[in-house]
Amino acid sequence: MFTIKIDKERHARVTRRAIELFKEKTGKDLFNLREDQALDLSDIETLLWLCLLKEDPSLTLEQVQDEVELHQLKQFTNYILEGSANPT
């Protein structure tokens, strides 16, 4: 679980559902990216939003885009990369 302070402390859970929804919304398979499918800023925001929905289904992508700062997206990206490299 990734903890992030936006409007309040929130907890992003990288669940299978979030990953499947990400694939549906972006067409990108998070764990099988082709060389021509790099994740861009919009993708990271979308994934973070989807991972936050479990805790707060009313949260919108626009809220995440408006409130999350760039350094927080970098921290979330590192969290995702560490998790995919070291699954438990």
pLDDT tens-place string over residues 4-44: 999 899 999 999 999 999 999 999 888 877 777 788 899 99
Strands (E) located in 6-88? 9-12
**Prediction pTM value:** 0.87
What count of other Cβ atoms lies within 10 Å of the Cβ of residue 60?
11
Q: Are 86 and 37 in contact (CB under 8 A)?
A: no
CA distances from 44 to 5, 53, 88 (A): 16, 14, 22
pLDDT tens-place string over residues 52-85: 999 999 999 999 999 999 999 999 999 988 875 4
CA distance 16 to 14: 7
Q: What are phi and psi of 34, to 5 degrees?
A: -80, 165
Domain boundaries of the chain, sorted by first residue: 2-85
